[in-house]
């Protein structure tokens, strides 16, 4: 007797027919829906042009002159990489985890799709999207993932159509490369290149199986499987993927066991606009590019402006990554020491006595003050707020400090922080090699290389001496170093004579020892209008009024302009415009812009050469002599210190045949400064940074900076430089007649 629960043969046949009818109906329904989606029933689909130019935010990359990535401009930190530059470990980890039949299907894995449906029906929830489908969603879906089933259907169908189109237009290698270039790996890292650098400080080509598995594991949930936020969960996910790679035959059992036993081994390098090399430079560069594009009407093919944060431009600069690092290191090393000197110098004293207005100005310029004003707080309420202790983080040379202080005390604290900037450049071609715009970009955003200007002090003296040499004076000419009044150019002007050396001094010695009286004497001979004209011709862009006091640097200028001007002495009298941007390409390598420096013959070649001899005197016998005795730099180096009134600004301009640098140091407000010249002079506040930088440069032979002397004019030099063979042919009272001034 047949059991009533046993299926007969005819029952099974009927069930098979029903199953196949349901299956065919589902297939026909999906085909109909896909066809409808292809004709736009459920929304627009990307065109062929869209497929050829998929939209994704791509970071613009800044390259140094020695082909090192300095940084990026980005909304999403994404940089593309080629298939051949991605380790097979990454490809294998992705395929083993996300789409084991990736190389076999044509965008939609029907076999996997139907099996996934069955898994989901029995409660085992799984995803069915292929890598190509995920790429389609990443590239062309501007809308967020839908939540309801009825919203997901049209979105999913468009995704399927785009996946098929992608498969028709791209190879498998291109698809997987695009996918890895577009996915989010967390910690502001988009694409495998950014991820490899952020988590392991390496390139995609060098990722080992464990590192690759860690990164691919993040894709399941950038926070849930984050190696930095949830390392234990990330480790478990990594080991699961290594197991999948083992099962798929991508790695050996031995490798699986070896890598599974390792920890995550992170070398975390988060990408941050406030971190990395040349932070100040990158900000100025961005502003420069934006202005250049606007002024020259450089746009994309459709007429829309380029977006440095999204369009993946390639920006090539002159910065040398090694010199940049050396410059930043030199600054950190010495400014830490100098700040200690400054703090000790003011210990037990009130630097704001008589300068209380600086604190009021600081308060009113703060973001806190603006926010309180916006909240309609009264002056009394604001004053109370600024005198109420609160938690804050402050800058220090030992690292950021979490502390509790009143906002007013924080203003006092920051007013007492010494600032510094430095720029170094090649004097021959005008290329800037290093740019340090401040002491800490996160806390002090203002760039002091190009944006900031300060009084230049005695670093201006060589301009006056240059005109004297050009008009027939010799460096060996002797002048009595007594008070001298410049007349005939407005009000009579007599400079102060601190540190005067008595007796007759040669012009070379007078410049070396930065003597004000003899500088005034030279100014009387050449006139302030001629000096001001020369200064402008040598690249100073700030106002230089034709007053006698410009001989001592009463005007303001930037480190950028002053460094460019001093290069003229080394470059045989030719001023070459300082440049830092050489060219810009779009993401496909097409040239958008190229920059060449302007050149001006500012001096005759012989005068320029004599001025390098004069500047060497500063280091050999003058205010820059500590380069010799303290830092051991005994090769031919020229320079000029500068110290403004009350020691508010300290400068040093250093010149060598292949490298010229300018350094400035001072507080935010000129009223806050060292009280004594032996501490506040440029020889103490600025020169040591140049010295430390140059020592590092010389110690690296790969940079090719030699210790040779300045080259003489091609036609020879007719001006006497050997002062033992020179005698004044007339006393100073008859000089005007002899020289024809």
Query: 583 has which bridge partners?
Result: 316, 594
Those residues whose C-beta lies under 8 Å from the C-beta of residue 127, and which sit 6 or more positions away, are: 116
Q: What angle do CA 735, 736, 741 make, to 5 degrees?
A: 135
What is the C-alpha separation between 45 and 36, in angstroms, rounded? 11
Scan for tokens 């410059």, then name that residue.
Answer: 327
What's residue 131's pLDDT? 81
Whole-number mean pLDDT of the chain? Answer: 87
Output the pLDDT for position 140.
Answer: 61
Q: What is the CA radius of gyration of the chain?
A: 35
Whole-number Å distance between alpha carbons of 167 and 612? 67
Residue 713 has which token pair?
């004019």
State residue 275's pLDDT score: 74
Confidence (pLDDT) at 57? 72
Q: What is residue 119's predicted lDDT score, i.e. its pLDDT?
A: 42
Quick check: pTM over 0.85? no
Q: What DSSP line would sit under 326-382, residue for residue?
A: HHHHHHHHHHHHHHHHHHHHHTTS-TTTT-HHHHHHHHHTSHHHHHHHHTT--HHHH
If DSSP codes are grouped into helix, strand and coil, which group holds residue 582? strand
Where the chain has pLDDT below 70, the residues are 1-7, 9, 11-13, 15-56, 75-78, 106-107, 109-128, 139-158, 271-274, 727-741
Which residue is associated with the tokens 């940074």? 689
Helix (H) / strand (E) element for 661: namely: strand 660-666
Q: Which helix (H) or strand (E) is 316 found in, with range?
A: strand 314-317
Listed residue (407, 386, 330, 240) closest to 699, CA to CA: 330
Q: Could you tell me the two tokens for 316?
A: 């090539």
| Tokens encoding 328 | 């930043």
Give percent helix, percent strand, percent coil of the chain, each to the nearest 5: 45, 10, 40
Coil, strand or helix at 567: helix
324 Cα distance to chain centroid: 10
The predicted structure's pLDDT at residue 737? 43
Contact between residue 571 and residue 310 where contact means Cβ atoms under 8 Å apart: no
Tokens for 189, please give them. 């890292």
Phi and psi for 712 in degrees, rounded to 5?
-75, 170
Report whether 607 contacts 466 (CB < 8 A). Answer: yes
Domains of the chain plus CATH, in order, are 78-186 (1.10.3810.10), 358-417 (no CATH), 419-726 (3.40.710.10)
Which residues, 6+ apart, have CB-to-CB distance to 222 below 8 Å?
A: 184, 185, 186
């Amino acid at each position: 007797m047949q059991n009533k629960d046993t299926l007969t043969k005819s029952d099974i046949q009927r069930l098979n027919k029903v199953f196949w009818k349901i299956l065919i109906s589902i297939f026909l329904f999906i085909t109909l829906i896909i066809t409808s989606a292809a004709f736009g029933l459920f929304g627009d689909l990307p065109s062929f042009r869209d497929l050829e130019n998929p939209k994704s935010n791509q970071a613009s990359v800044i390259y140094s002159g020695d082909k090192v990535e300095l940084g990026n401009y980005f909304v999403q930190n994404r940089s593309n990489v080629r298939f051949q530059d991605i380790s097979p470990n990454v490809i294998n980890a992705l395929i083993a985890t996300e789409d084991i039949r990736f190389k076999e299907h044509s965008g939609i894995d029907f076999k996997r799709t139907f099996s996934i449906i069955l898994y989901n029906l029995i409660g085992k929830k799984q995803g069915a999207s292929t890598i190509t489908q995920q790429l389609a969603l990443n590239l062309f879906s501007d809308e967020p993932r839908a939540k309801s089933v009825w919203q997901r259907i049209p979105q999913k169908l468009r995704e399927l159509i785009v996946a098929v189109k992608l498969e028709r237009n791209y190879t498998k290698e291109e698809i997987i490369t695009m996918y890895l270039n577009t996915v989010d790996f967390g910690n502001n890292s988009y694409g495998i290149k950014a991820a490899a650098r952020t988590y392991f400080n390496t390139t995609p080509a060098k990722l080992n199986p464990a590192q690759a598995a860690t990164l691919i594991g993040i894709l399941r949930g950038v926070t849930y499987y984050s190696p930095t936020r949830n390392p234990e969960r990330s480790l478990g996910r990594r080991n699961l993927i290594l197991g999948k790679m083992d099962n798929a035959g991508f790695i050996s059992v031995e490798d699986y066991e070896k890598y599974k036993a390792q920890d995550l081994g992170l070398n975390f390098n988060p990408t941050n606009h406030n971190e990395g090399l040349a932070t100040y430079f990158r900000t100025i560069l961005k502003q420069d590019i934006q202005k250049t594009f606007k002024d020259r009407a450089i746009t994309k093919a459709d007429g829309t402006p380029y977006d440095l944060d999204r369009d993946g431009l390639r920006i090539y600069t002159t910065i040398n990554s090694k010199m940049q690092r050396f410059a930043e290191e030199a600054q950190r090393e010495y400014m830490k020491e100098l700040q200690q000197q400054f703090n000790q110098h003011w210990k037990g004293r009130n630097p704001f006595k008589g300068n209380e207005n600086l604190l009021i100005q600081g308060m009113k310029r703060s973001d806190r003050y603006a926010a309180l004003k916006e909240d309609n707080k009264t002056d009394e309420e604001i004053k109370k707020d600024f005198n109420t202790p609160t938690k804050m983080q402050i800058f220090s040379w030992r690292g950021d400090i979490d502390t509790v202080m009143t906002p007013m005390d924080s203003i006092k604290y920051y007013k007492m922080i010494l600032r510094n900037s430095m720029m170094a450049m090649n004097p021959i071609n005008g290329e800037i090699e290093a740019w340090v715009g401040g002491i800490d970009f996160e806390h002090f955003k203002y760039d002091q290389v190009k944006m900031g200007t300060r009084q230049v002090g005695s670093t201006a003296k060589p301009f006056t001496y240059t005109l004297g040499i050009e008009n027939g004076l010799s460096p060996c000419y002797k002048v009595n170093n007594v008070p001298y009044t410049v007349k005939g150019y407005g009000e009579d002007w007599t400079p102060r004579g601190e540190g005067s050396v008595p007796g007759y001094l040669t012009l070379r010695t007078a410049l070396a020892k930065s003597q004000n009286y003899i500088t005034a004497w030279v100014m009387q001979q050449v006139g302030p209008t001629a000096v001001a004209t020369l200064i402008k011709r040598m690249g100073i862009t700030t106002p230089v009024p034709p007053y006698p006091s410009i001989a001592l640097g009463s005007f303001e200028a930037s480190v950028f302009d002053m460094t460019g001007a001093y290069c003229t002495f080394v470059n045989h009298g030719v001023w070459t415009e300082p440049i830092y941007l050489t060219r810009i390409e779009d993401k496909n390598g097409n040239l958008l812009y190229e920059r060449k420096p302007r050149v001006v013959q500012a001096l005759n070649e012989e005068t320029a050469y004599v001025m390098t001899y004069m500047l060497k005197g500063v280091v050999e016998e003058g205010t820059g002599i500590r380069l010799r005795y303290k830092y051991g730099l005994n090769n031919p180096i020229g320079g000029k210190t500068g110290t403004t009134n009350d020691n508010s600004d300290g400068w040093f301009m250093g010149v060598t045949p292949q490298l010229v640098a300018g350094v400035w140091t001072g507080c935010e407000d000129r009223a806050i400064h060292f009280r004594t010249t032996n501490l506040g002079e440029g020889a103490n506040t600025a020169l040591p940074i140049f010295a430390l930088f140059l020592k590092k440069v010389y110690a690296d032979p790969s940079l090719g900076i030699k210790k040779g002397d300045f080259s003489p004019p091609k036609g020879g030099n007719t001006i006497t430089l050997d002062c033992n063979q020179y005698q004044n042919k007339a006393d100073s009272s008859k000089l005007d007649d002899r020289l024809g001034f």
